[in-house]
């Protein structure tokens, strides 16, 4: 398998075969993200992908899940993406699901009918980075989208019958917008009603614009307990139909897994307990945090 640079995948794709169909991220302007700064975005040729699939078949023919990397691979035009997904489907007889990253722009480039076509071929889940429900925060980190568009994209995924898994980022508003970022993110999650929602915590990556802001003093990273307060506020303001919410990523100080709304009150009580105790032993040690 030929991989270029570091490869990133969602935690739920840990057991998946990863096929790098795009290199890098087509947006690649978010101030907090250093994942793809060393790559110039391009789409690999069908022949390159086919060679990797053929190699994978030799040792992993019976994989059940495949994840299409890099960044927002859904940006690939439909006429190019369909043959790739068809190839994956035809090559692995035990395949149950194909996962892929998307962003607001790439999702909205696909009609509901096109998304349904991809679902029929095996794409069962789309991972969307929402990051914040606060438009000011999104603009400051150069996310490059508007919340109304992201809500429209989310609805399009759900209308196609594809699982919608979104991520949000605790601390992204800094200390200055901590409360409003948490409140508005909870409200936005309520608006889009995703199947899965994962909360990560901001980690300042050296060399990123956010790191320069921290150095200049224009961005102040919330403390561990301020991040937990954000988590509490976010969940309190999240009113969804049936969403699995998790903050068990390695970047988080307190692992949380809950079905909302069923486990909402129990989860809020657990977070409040840690906030009241202020016992560092209840938090993930700093040296164990990672992206």
| pLDDT of amino acid 277 | 96
* DSSP structure class, residue 253: S
Average pLDDT, whole number, for the chain? Answer: 96
> Average pLDDT, stretch 125-144?
98
In a domain, 4, yes or no: no
In a domain, 147, yes or no: yes
Q: pLDDT tens digits, residue range 101-121? A: 999 999 999 999 999 999 999
| pLDDT of amino acid 278 | 95
| pLDDT of amino acid 135 | 98
| pLDDT of amino acid 131 | 98
H-helix segments, the chain = 46-60, 78-91, 104-108, 112-121, 135-140, 147-159, 178-192, 209-216, 224-236, 264-277
147, 116, 115, 148: which is closest to 132 by C-alpha?
147
Distance between CA atoms of residues 108 and 153, nearest Å? 6
The predicted model scores a pTM of 0.95
* CB 151, CB 181: distance < 8 Å: no
| pLDDT of amino acid 210 | 97
In a domain, 3, yes or no: no
Distance between CA atoms of residues 25 and 57, nearest Å? 27
* CB 44, CB 113: distance < 8 Å: no
Distance between CA atoms of residues 149 and 55, nearest Å? 39
| pLDDT of amino acid 39 | 86
In a domain, 124, yes or no: yes
Q: HSE of 102 in the Cβ direction (CA atoms, 13 Å)? A: 31
* DSSP structure class, residue 73: G
Q: How far is CA 95 from the centre of its chain?
A: 23
In a domain, 99, yes or no: yes
Q: pLDDT tens digits, residue range 22-58? A: 999 999 999 999 988 888 899 999 999 999 999 999 9
In a domain, 5, yes or no: no
- Give residue 219's pLDDT band: very low, low, confident or very high (50, 70, 90): very high
In a domain, 6, yes or no: no
In a domain, 1, yes or no: no
Q: Which structural domain, as residue segments, surrounds residue 190? A: 11-288
| pLDDT of amino acid 236 | 98
* CB 213, CB 219: distance < 8 Å: yes
- Considering its fold, how many domains does the chain have in total? 1
Please report, for the domain that includes residue 137, its CATH number: 3.80.30.20
* Residue 105: both structure tokens together: 């722009």
17, 122, 126: which is closest to 73 by C-alpha?
126
In the block, tokens 């301020």 appear at 226
| pLDDT of amino acid 196 | 98
């Amino acid at each position: 398998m030929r991989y270029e640079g570091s490869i990133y995948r969602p935690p739920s794709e840990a057991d998946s075969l990863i096929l790098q169909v795009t290199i890098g991220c087509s947006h690649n302007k978010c101030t907090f993200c250093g994942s793809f700064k060393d790559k110039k975005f391009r789409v690999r040729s069908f022949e390159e992908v086919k060679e990797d699939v053929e190699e994978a078949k030799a040792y992993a023919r019976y994989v059940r899940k495949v994840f299409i990397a890099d960044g927002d691979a859904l940006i690939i035009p439909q006429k190019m993406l369909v043959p790739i997904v068809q190839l994956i489907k035809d090559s692995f007889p035990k395949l149950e699901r194909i996962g892929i990253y998307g962003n607001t722009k790439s999702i909205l480039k696909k009609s509901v009918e096109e998304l349904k076509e991809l679902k029929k071929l095996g794409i069962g889940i789309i991972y969307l980075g929402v990051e914040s429900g606060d438009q000011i925060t999104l603009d400051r980190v150069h996310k490059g989208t508007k919340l109304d568009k992201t809500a429209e994209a989310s609805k399009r995924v759900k209308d196609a019958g594809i699982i919608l898994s979104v991520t949000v980022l605790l601390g992204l508003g800094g200390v200055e917008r901590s409360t409003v970022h948490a409140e508005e993110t909870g409200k936005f999650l309520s608006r889009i009603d995703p199947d899965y929602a994962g909360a990560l915590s901001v980690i300042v990556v050296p060399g990123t614009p956010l790191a320069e802001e921290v150095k200049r003093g224009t961005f102040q990273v919330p403390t561990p307990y301020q991040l937990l307060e954000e988590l509490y506020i976010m969940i309190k303001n999240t009113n969804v139909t049936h969403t699995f919410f998790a903050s068990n990523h390695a970047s988080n100080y307190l692992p949380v897994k809950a079905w909302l709304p069923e486990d909402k009150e129990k989860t809020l009580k657990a977070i409040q307990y840690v906030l009241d105790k202020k016992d560092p032993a209840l938090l993930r040690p700093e040296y164990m945090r990672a992206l």
